Chains A and B, each alone.
Chain A
């Protein structure tokens, strides 16, 4: 089968993405040094989410995939998030 994608991602693009990911990793380690109480989970998860989105978009090429797949991937995360939130309807209000 011929290549359907119009371009091939260059090596340097990948390297830049890795640097970005490593910087975020360092950031998340540094941030844990500060006493932010309840916010620490939130910030750690936020940084992790950005890293995950980056890996999915660039390393896994979701950026150049069709709309259906983009919607499906987002939908999976949203669905899982909803399941956690609804479970906490029980735990937070007991």
Chain B
């Protein structure tokens, strides 16, 4: 069904369509090329965002002013957040791997609306560019933090409206992508592939897409309201006009909490694909993982108030949100048990994808457990707005989603580019990244508990030793990332040709050539087996 054999096939990278040269990329509607274009932009912006982070860490290496003043620092953490969140991690795995692999994994030739897909990309690129332009145009880079809290976002004389517009456009791109993916999953599955015969990465993308569609519009209208406050003084959030600033927080977090599930669900989907392949046995608890993705998406809609425990909301509201926050941890924990059970008794092949996936479990668990500490009302008061929170979400987003992204890149790289990277260098990079990451972020939990505030460009002398260690950790982390990037970049140019199935995977993407042909399959496959079928003797007795 599509192995190269003696037949000539044309990879999607070499396919000659209506347009030539750069236009064949800029005007493509092929989901694989669109995925690669996103990949390119995201990689560039990731290193911009990481550099901004490294600059922040350098400022924090010692108390007092080191390389920048407070206004610059405030602008830095704002744009670092905007880029990382709206340009990298929210679109992140959906637009790169969702675009590239969702159609292939469900046996389709493309997404439901390929032209809309291209529009999503251009909106995304426009939003990303605007976010950068907001740094330079007019009255100075925004310094409100990526969360744009009122009243400061209304009062600040910086380019807030630019940044708000960038976020709005990025949100619109996210909505259209989510729409496309939902319809794709509903309408484009290959014959015989019922919902419960779909692999688990498509399940994750599907759950994520619903959040994209139903949560993002709320941030859209909220950003418009802030613009209305700045331009007209419309009053919704202004107490001097009768409004309520906490109403902004409600509206902001009604989106931004589900947004973190947009970030993590695809990541969970990626590692769920990796564990069976590198254990050579089916996923343990397929149904539980599929349903828990939907459960996380659903319950995650009702926990937003846990970002506001110290803002002055009612006691009843705080009780409710704390309870729901503990509840939403349950489906995530179920996944962790299932991943470990998948590995257990398997024929383990410790290649880079699995290294990153196992790293993901470890780091995600630390992030998740520290999230529960914040979810409890009493302890929240101690750690809110401290480095503890910063460490928590970096463990989840970077340690969780970031490591899952690296895992996915190392897993699917041979399929996407038809080249194999140097395994040894990939492993070395992993070791350096993992070490640097923990050296950087773990101590932040400690000083956070001790009272080190977040978003502060200066600090009390007692925090100096740990801030110093953290900064060294950050530098180590960045070196690891650079090694990883160089290894992959080199492989893209000069790597050995990769076979169709280097990892002995059993899902559909491994049954087609590396790189795939334009329409993915020779003919539309017919699905008869469940998705993780490694042969009768290795099959799980229960699904």
Contacts and interface: CB of A to CB of B under 8 A. Distances in A.
Interface of A: 68, 76, 79, 82-83, 86-87, 89-94
Given A82-B302, A83-B254, A83-B301, A90 B313 contact: yes
Interface in B307-331: 312-317, 320
Interface in B285-321: 301-302, 305, 312-317, 320
A68 to B, nearest CB: 7
A90 B302 contact: no
Given A68-B186, A76-B214, A79-B214, A89 B301 contact: no
A42 to B, nearest CB: 23
Contacts of B246: 90
B454 interface: no
A90 B186 contact: no
Given A68-B186, A93-B317, A94-B314, 19 more contacts: A79-B301, A82-B302, A83-B301, A86-B302, A86-B305, A86-B317, A86-B320, A87-B250, A87-B254, A89-B314, A89-B317, A89-B320, A90-B250, A90-B313, A90-B314, A92-B314, A93-B314, A93-B315, A93-B316
15 contacts: A68-B186, A79-B214, A79-B301, A83-B254, A86-B302, A87-B254, A89-B317, A90-B250, A90-B305, A90-B313, A91-B314, A93-B314, A94-B312, A94-B313, A94-B314
Contacts of A94: 312-314
Contacts of A68: 186
A83 B305 CA distance: 11
Contacts of B315: 93
A93 B316 CA distance: 7
B460 to A, nearest CB: 34
A90 B314 CA distance: 5
Contacts of B317: 86, 89-90, 93
B387 to A, nearest CB: 28
Contact of A89 (B186, B214, B316): B316
Contacts of A89: 314, 316-317, 320
Contacts of A86: 302, 305, 317, 320
A68 B302 CA distance: 23
A79 B213 CA distance: 13
Contacts of B313: 90, 94
Interface in B424-452: none
Nearest to A82: B302
Contacts of A92: 314
A90 B246 CA distance: 10
A84 to B, nearest CB: 10
Nearest to A75: B214
Nearest to A94: B314
A70 to B, nearest CB: 14
Q: Which 3 A-B pairs have the closest CB atoms?
A: A93-B314, A90-B317, A89-B317
User: Which of A82, A90, A94 has most chain B Cβ within 10 Å?
Assistant: A90
A71 to B, nearest CB: 12
Interface string B363-391: 00000000000000000000000000000
A91 B305 CA distance: 12
B325 to A, nearest CB: 13
A34 to B, nearest CB: 29
A89 B302 CA distance: 12
Contacts of B312: 94
Contacts of B186: 68
Interface string B223-253: 0000000000000000000000010001000
Contacts of B305: 86, 90
